[in-house]
Chain A
Amino acid sequence: MLKPEKMAKILVAGHKKDLSKAIEVLHQKKVLHIIEHKRGQLDIGAPLKEGEDASLLLIQIRGLISMLGIKRKQPRKELKFLNIRDSKKDISSFYAIVQKRLEELAKANAAIEQKKKQLETLEKLSFFKGELEIIGRIKSLSFFIGEIKNAEELANAVKKITSSFDLQTSTGKGKSFVILAIEKSVEQKTTAELQNLGFKPEQLEHIKDFKGTPKDNLLRIYPEYHKLIKKREGIDASLNTFRSRLSSSIMLQESYLEKLTEKTEAPLKMAMTQNTFMVTGWLPEKSKDETIKTLQAALKGKVAVEDAPIDELERVPVKLKNPALVQPFEFFLDLYSLPNHHEIDPTLFIFIGFPIFFGMMLGDIGYGIVSVILFLTLMKLMPQMKGLFKVMLLSGISTIIFGFVFGEFFGLEELFGHEIPFLIHRTHAIQEMLMISVAIGVCHVVLGLLIGFYNELHHHGLIKAVNAKLGWIVLLAGAGILLNDIAIKAFAIPNGSLIGGALVAISIVMLFLGEGVRGLVELPGIFGNILSYARLMALGVASAGLAVVINDLAAPMFNAGVFGIIAGIIILFVGHLINFMLGLIGPFLHSLRLQYVEFFTKFYAGGGTRYIPFGTK
């Protein structure tokens, strides 16, 4: 539990003609973390020959999936066998058809868009009885066609410029559409005037080649537009048929081919000679014998398996080993960095520490119950995030427990006139809570240092471990005694300042020997670390205080009639909802921070490689 799974390194060698069978067995067992062979004295292998077709097919299938917009979901079943040659024929023809259909669809969409614009413009112009071609043709006239707010204003303005003009208007809601024909000589003047009146010219680019009246053109284009819409529906329908016909089978094919290409590409990670293959990899020691037996049986004994030499500095892949209840907390190590293979796996300590810190900060029976219900529901709704929700569920339970410790229910300290039983009221006993928080901090940091001591002991020997890790504990003890003697005076220790001072001096020497100058520089840091646990109290008081404020705001409302009661309920609901959301985010991050920054830095090196056995991609 405290150490990652013990790993063994093996080397498998055999004849090339048994290669595909060996790969099949290893792929099925899903235990061997293959170490990639680097091209050296021995070359790497070439992909198995069915690989090329399979990967081409896979590319086309993925292309089809994205072109058709098929939703990806994990297939329930698994394909046992796929005839690649037939499947390739089908898929390439589908691919070609779908591609063509999509092109047609894009073309149709563009054409529809254009017709729509033409129709819109023509509809606006439909009050105009003349023919469209005259607009461009009469060189002596300038035309202004577009929208304006007030047509009368325009008419008056134009009259002032010239008397020879023609203005046709169609008035709609709050604005008018105008066609103004005016002598070319006063064009500039008119433009300026129109700008003042807020004239918006209509874009005529897309109907510039039209002949005849707007009505005629409308009658001509409507059927064309409808024909295009029909055509688009047809293409959509045919794409939909493809989608529904392929959606289930194509996913099965994809997952089959993914596995197949993983297998056919496996030789790229192996060493090859003319007639033999050789693969090295890590696997959990407990499944070693069984794997060897299966390999021997499948290849009828024509395979050599032996323990491979392990290099001192080699990176062993790390597989964490924890009971089911603790396992979800491995998530926090994934987020940070995996432990390397010879240090302690701290998941168990996070499992204990994280919910306690979280509970201490949120600490309210009501919020705890809500969060338990919330995360139970979320677990059902989003099974892929189950790990994180389990963590939060345990934290929620811890919140309920601490809610009883603090005697709080949605910020209330009494229910129906009875006081909720409590051990300590955190909003009143701030001083005590601060002391408790710092005491927890000391314990947590010392625990971290002890784990660090164990890691150092196995890595660098006793002297270094004592100096570098126990030095901090001696420093803490010395500083504690000094503080007691000077300020707190809780215990009477004879010659307290002498003993304390001596311990501090000794610890400084130890740290200098253990960690060098860096240790001395970081001396004040440890007190920062411990004071940092004061947040356990601070966040709790803040969240409880906010809850009390919400309750106090809402309480007088309930004596103020029906509307008052409604308003009170809204204040209570919204207020507690916000406080609850803050209460989930804050304690989560701060609890995590105490683990990562205050706890992990005392012992954790990390940097482990993840164990990814062949066949579990």
Chain B
Amino acid sequence: MVDVGTGMVALGAGAAIVGTAIASAIAEKSIGAAAVGAMAEKEELFGKGLILTVIPETLVIFGMVVAILILNLAAGG
């Protein structure tokens, strides 16, 4: 069994991912719906729609980087 401290670190890293992933999902939900609507009207908008839809995805990448930093800090300290 791992000790409580390690578990806390893991939870912290998980929380970083969870929060950012939910944030990305909420943001992408509304943008995606609008983009699909626009595409139904005008198919050439696929490229623009894709870009706008995936912009909030960066959030979860930040979350991942933070998670890795947390894990590293824990390993180092």
Question: Chain A residues in contact with chain B, CB under 8 A?
Answer: 335-337, 430-431, 434, 528, 531-532, 534-535, 538, 592-593, 596-597, 601, 606
Contact A532 B61 (CB under 8 A): yes
Closest to B55 in A: A597
Interface-forming stretch among B2-10, B29-37, B42-50? B42-50
B54 and A534 contact, CB distance less than 8 A = no
List, in ascending order, chain B residues with CB within 8 A of A534's CB: 61, 64-65
> Which residues of A have CB within 8 Å of B44?
337
| Complex Cα spacing A532 to B65, Å | 10
Inter-subunit contact A593/B54 (CB<8 Å): yes
Query: Contact between A596 and B72 (Cβ–Cβ < 8 Å)?
Result: no
| 5 examples of A-B residue contacts, CB within 8 angstroms | A335-B47, A535-B61, A593-B50, A596-B47, A597-B55
Instruction: Say yes or no for B73: interface residue by CB 8 A criterion.
Output: no
Contact A531 B61 (CB under 8 A): yes
Please determine whether B58 and A532 come into contact, CB atoms closer than 8 angstroms.
Answer: yes
Interface of B is mostly: helix
* Contact of A538 with B47 in the complex, beta carbons under 8 Å: no
B68 near A597: Cβ-Cβ < 8 Å: no
Total contacts A-B at CB 8 Å: 40
Min CB–CB distance B19 → chain A (angstroms): 16
- Enumerate chain B residues within 8 angstroms of A528, measured Cβ to Cβ: 58, 62
A337 vs B55: C-alpha distance in the bound complex, in angstroms? Answer: 18
Q: In the bound complex, do residue A337 and residue B64 qualify as a contact, i.e. CB atoms below 8 Å apart?
A: no
Apart from A335-B46, A534-B64, A592-B50, 20 more pairs, CB < 8 Å = A336-B46, A336-B47, A431-B68, A431-B72, A434-B65, A434-B68, A528-B58, A531-B62, A532-B58, A532-B61, A534-B61, A535-B61, A538-B61, A593-B50, A593-B51, A593-B54, A593-B57, A596-B50, A596-B51, A606-B47
How many whole Å from A302's CB to the nearest CB in chain B? 42
Q: Name the A residues within 8 Å of B54 (CB-CB).
A: 593, 597
CA distance A434 to B68 in the complex (A): 9
A597 touching B62, Cβ below 8 Å: no
Residues of B within 8 A of A596 (CB): 47, 50-51
Which residues of B have CB within 8 Å of A335? 46-47
In whole angstroms, what is the CA distance A335 to B51 when docked? 12
Chain A hits for B57, CB < 8 A: 532, 593
The residue of chain B having its C-beta at the shortest distance from the C-beta of A525 within the complex is B58
Q: Mark B11-45, 1 if CB is under 8 A from A, else 0.
A: 00000000000000000000000000000000010
CA distance A534 to B46 in the complex (A): 25
Q: Give min CB distance, A215 to chain B, whole Å.
A: 59
A395 CB, nearest partner CB in chain B, Å: 18
Measured CA separation A430–B67 after assembly (Å): 12
Lowest 8 A-B CB distances belong to which pairs?
Answer: A336-B47, A528-B58, A593-B54, A597-B51, A534-B61, A532-B58, A596-B51, A532-B61
Report Cα–Cα, A599/B40, bound state, in Å.
26
A430 to B44, CA, bound (A): 39
Q: How far is the CA of A592 from the CA of B48 in the complex (A)?
A: 13
- Chain A residue with minimal CB distance to B46? A335
Q: How far is the CA of A597 from the CA of B54 in the complex (A)?
A: 8
